Amino acid sequence: MKIAIFFGTETGNAEMLAEDIATGLEAEHETSLADLADSSPEDLKVAELNVIVCSSYGEGELPASAKPFAAQLADSQPDLSDVRFAIFGLGDSEYAETYGFGSMKLAELLVARGARALDERPVHDAASADLPEDVALPWVTAIIDGLAT
């Protein structure tokens, strides 16, 4: 399966997780990896599945590298009705009022343009003992397995 992995990051954590996901999938799938800062909504139309890893920053804002992409979604209003995506958030539950809002905002923008979310949006809690890659890779693998059936 052709899988595009995108990340929106402020400090590099989402990028590292996206790299881990790409490495975990590349033996069985054709994967690509890109920063949302260097991507356009049209780039989502290339792969069969788009996996997005997005952190939150500040008071639940999008991270810096996701902001230009989100602005393109809002301004150009592309038709993404043929796009499937799964989005994984990074956050810190100690900021309960804005926990995971970055990935939530991006998911809402994608859905508003017609893209179809393939699963609920998990958010890895930085305050947990779990490593994000230990949560994200099984989540992505389950989505891929579901598409194959």
Q: Residues 49-82: pLDDT tens digits?
A: 999 999 999 888 999 999 999 999 999 999 999 9
Q: Residues 27-41: pLDDT tens digits?
A: 999 999 999 999 999
Please report how many Cα atoms fall inside a 13 Å half-sphere around the Cα of residue 85, on the Cβ side.
32
Backbone angles phi, psi at 127, to 5 degrees: -85, -5
Checking if the pLDDT of 96 tops 90, the result is no
Quote the CA–CA distance of 41 and 128 in Å, as a whole number: 32
Please tell me the total count of domains within the chain.
1
pLDDT of residue 37: 98
% residues pLDDT > 70 (the chain)? 100
148: confidence class by pLDDT, cuts 50, 70, 90: confident
23: confidence class by pLDDT, cuts 50, 70, 90: very high
Domain with 52 in it: 2-148
pTM, two decimal places: 0.95
E strand or H helix at 142, and its extent?
Answer: helix 132-148
Across the chain, what does the average pLDDT equal?
A: 95
Q: Which residues neighbour 114 within 8 Å (Cβ) at sequence distance 6 or greater?
A: 79, 80, 81, 83
Q: What is the mean pLDDT of residues 103-110?
A: 97
Domain with residue 68: its CATH number is: 3.40.50.360
Quote the CA–CA distance of 60 and 108 in Å, as a whole number: 14
Q: What is the mean pLDDT of residues 2-30?
A: 97
Token pair 């230990």 in the structure block, residue:
134
Token pair 């975990």 in the structure block, residue:
24
pLDDT of residue 4: 98
95: confidence class by pLDDT, cuts 50, 70, 90: confident
Quote the CA–CA distance of 66 and 42 in Å, as a whole number: 15
